[in-house]
Amino acid sequence: MLTKSVLQLADVKKIAAAAEAEALANNWAVAIAIVDDGGHLLWLQRLDGVAPISSHIAPAKAKTAALGRRESKIYEDIINNGRTSFLSAPFLDGMLEGGVPIIVDGQVIGAVGVSGVKSDQDAQIAKAGIAALV
C-alpha cells in the first residue's frame, strides 16, 4: 500500500499567504483557490478589486489541475491547438492557465488556482504559493 501526504490547514494557510504576498507585491487583484487532490475546495480568498467572476474561475482552475494532475495550461494548449472536442471532458471546467498541481514526493496532493490577471501571472502567483510549501 502506498503512503501519500495530505494537505493540512497549516499547509493551506502557508500556500495562501505566499500566493497573496506574490499578488500584492505585484499589485495584482486576484482570487486564490486551493483544493485537495480530489478537487474539493479547501481555501478561497478574493483580494480587493478583483472581478467577482474570478471567485468561480480560480477554483475551477485548481480543480482541473488537481484532477488532471497537471497544469491547467496543458488543457488550454490542447484546445487552442485545435482539439476542441476536449471541451467535452467531464469535470474539467477551468481549462485555462493558472491552475497548478501541488506535488509532494511525486504525488499530487492538491492544486492552486488563481484568476484575475494575465494567465501567466495567475500561474506565477500559484507557483509562488506552492513554493512556500515544497
pLDDT-based confidence at residue 35 (cuts at 50, 70, 90): very high
Whether 31 contacts 44, CB under 8 Å? yes
Q: State CA 35 to chain mean position distance.
A: 8
Residue whose entry in the numeric block shows the C-alpha cell 487583484: 29
41: three-class secondary structure by DSSP: strand
Going from N- to C-terminal start, the domains of the chain cover: 9-131
Residue 134 pLDDT class (50, 70, 90 cuts): confident
pLDDT-derived band of residue 92, with 50, 70 and 90 as boundaries?
A: confident
63 closest CA partner among 27, 37, 87: 37
Q: Supply the pTM of this predicted model.
A: 0.95
CA atoms within 13 A on the CB side of 26: 16
Which of these, 35, 38, 36, 61, lies nearest to 116 by C-alpha position?
A: 61
Determine the Cα–Cα distance for residues 119 and 132; give it in Å rounded to an integer: 21
Nearest to 108 by CA among 10, 13, 17, 35: 35
Q: What is the pLDDT of residues 57-76, one digit of tens each?
A: 999 999 999 999 999 999 99
Length in residues, the chain: 134
Query: In whole angstroms, what separates CA 27 from the centre of its chain?
Result: 19
User: What mean pLDDT is reported for the chain?
Assistant: 95
d(CA 68, CA 62): 10
- One of 3.30.470.20, 3.30.70.600, 3.30.450.150, 1.10.10.60 is the CATH number of 9-131, namely 3.30.450.150
115 exposed, middle or buried (CB, 10 Å; 0-12, 13-18, 19+)? buried
